[in-house]
Structure 1
């Protein structure tokens, strides 16, 4: 029996974050990044980027981390294929409660374990708002491209690549090799459709431990105009939120972006104008390996990067001395 190919049938729909710092998250989302924020209760925030009720769900809790990623699936046939693959892989599948679905702005959802403890949630119908989002930005690029992408570091890149490939038939867009201090970073970029990548898997070559505390290294969102990108960059710095990497342009997808530090410690990449893998490009696309993450910019900023470098160096020393 031929295995069905569901490439293009799913895209990143939302992320769920657990944090005790909801006041700081509210200020970060609304005043710095410029998102629409709905404070549902004292324990729950939602951020909007578009007409969807929820793109970020922030719930009170101790993790200070992304705990789930929701994937929107086009149709029930593809939905059943994904559930069948999860079951065949031995992953326990459960249906989310009506309350969980309502908080995420979807009609129904199913959940099963994902890499690094991030629950994978899938749904077919998202709820839309009747009111336009109140944002400091004109718009974000979502739609068929989804809400953005996730970047995950790991010491087991093949396992993570296989998980996403087996589940959603993601395709390899390209790879990047980069040196950061003593570490050699190998990154593979996986796409689920027109967006250049929905998942980036970064392997710190030669290290036995993952130097990143959080499940994701960063979450990406794509802003619609260059003016809004620059304005949000200035708001983030003026309001005192940490900037991890300054504005720069990537080698592979050509996205112009900056990376700031969220109240929970993982980074948010705000980007503009990346390469779009159109159907015409898809027919002839060949993965390329790039030397270095950035064409220009993306220079390290502040104590955040110094701390990360010290962790890399400590990991290298422990391997050499072990």
Structure 2
């Protein structure tokens, strides 16, 4: 079995929402992305040559529903398909109309952890016309992929096992952090040169998930520091809520902030994270997510109570980790 590591890149994110007006303002005016209005029930954000990096579809979920993964060639595509179907997990061909909405070719989908559908494609179409963005320096994509997503889960070993089985994900490091009196362990997985494309957060020794949405946050990376700071200012001026102010992470050294999207999950804009050197990198554990900054902004006692209630409800809710693809679960850390 050949490894697919390095040939897989986070390509796009699908979001279901009824708040098109708020999302339009958030994406175009606050974050600084290019917006394409497709039809009354679909809108796209661009940030580079790809026709679609974020697809917003009208619906009541207010959440991320799917992750699109770009693979470099048909051999990699076929190898991943062998792994998924070989474990008895169903793969569905995606209709041409849905592939067109995402601006991609040879698209299939299969189940993923935490209700996140995984979509796989081989080629992205180039967008028509010049980008019209408030971000002037552009974004880092290419071999690093779009950015990353962070998932909270009650089954971190199984989620780690899933991405190892499907994409040969490698462990970059861990962070131990206490948030609101609750101890978390966060695992950071890479599938290419980017320090991580998936982060997996879990409450230590408690089977609860305090986050309502399928992802806790997503990340995009700017080329220029000025674009990060000006987008931070725009978010504040436009009245969108901020989760964490500007700070620097302990593990990948990225400078970033976290805003709260109209659908409730967080959106991180970052600058200058390190790139992993595969020849020398060794996983380690960091204490705390930040060297400095990332101070909580605007959280009220009502917000904390809502998180507590979500955590309690999660005790009685099943969580699908797609066990067939999780192996025995990776007993890491």
TM-score band by shorter chain is over 0.9
Give the Cα–Cα distance (whole angstroms) in 2 for the partners of residues 120 and 185 of structure 1: 25
Q: Which moved more, 1:304-313 or 1:195-204?
A: 304-313
Give the corresponding residue for 1:300. Answer: 296
- Give the drift of 1:314: 8.4
Q: Runs of 5+ in structure 1 lacking a partner?
A: none
Give the Cα–Cα distance (whole angstroms) in 2 for the partners of residues 285 and 107 of structure 1: 34
Give the corresponding residue for 2:101. Answer: 103
Q: Answer yes or no: is the 8 Å Cα contact 1:141–1:224 preserved in 2.
A: yes
Give the Cα–Cα distance (whole angstroms) in 1 for the partners of residues 190 and 214 of structure 2: 20
| TM-score calculated relative to the size of structure 2 | 0.91
Higher relative contact order (CA 8 A, sep 6+): 2
Give the Cα–Cα distance (whole angstroms) in 2 for the partners of residues 304 and 266 of structure 1: 16
Question: Match of 2:213, SS?
Answer: coil
Question: Match of 2:124, SS?
Answer: coil
Aligned residue pairs total 314
- Give the drift of 1:108: 2.4
Question: Match of 1:303, SS?
Answer: coil
- Give the drift of 1:173: 0.5
Give the corresponding residue for 1:160. Answer: 159
- Give the drift of 1:71: 0.2
Q: Answer yes or no: is the 8 Å Cα contact 2:212–2:310 preserved in 1.
A: no
Q: Runs of 5+ in structure 2 lacking a partner?
A: 316-333
Give the Cα–Cα distance (whole angstroms) in 1 for the partners of residues 133 and 271 of structure 2: 17
Give the Cα–Cα distance (whole angstroms) in 1 for the partners of residues 296 and 157 of structure 2: 28
Q: Which moved more, 1:85-94 or 1:261-270?
A: 85-94
Question: Match of 1:283, SS?
Answer: coil
Question: Match of 2:123, SS?
Answer: coil
Give the corresponding residue for 1:259. Answer: 258
Q: 2:9 aligns with which of 4, 8, 11?
A: 11
Q: Answer yes or no: is the 8 Å Cα contact 2:149–2:199 preserved in 1.
A: yes
Over the aligned positions, Cα root-mean-square deviation in angstroms equals 1.8
Give the Cα–Cα distance (whole angstroms) in 1 for the partners of residues 284 and 119 of structure 2: 31
Q: Answer yes or no: is the 8 Å Cα contact 1:181–1:312 preserved in 2.
A: no
Give the Cα–Cα distance (whole angstroms) in 2 for the partners of residues 76 and 314 of structure 1: 42
Give the corresponding residue for 2:22. Answer: 24
- Give the drift of 1:244: 0.4
- Give the drift of 1:313: 8.6
Give the Cα–Cα distance (whole angstroms) in 1 for the partners of residues 193 and 115 of structure 2: 27
Give the Cα–Cα distance (whole angstroms) in 1 for the partners of residues 305 and 294 of structure 2: 15
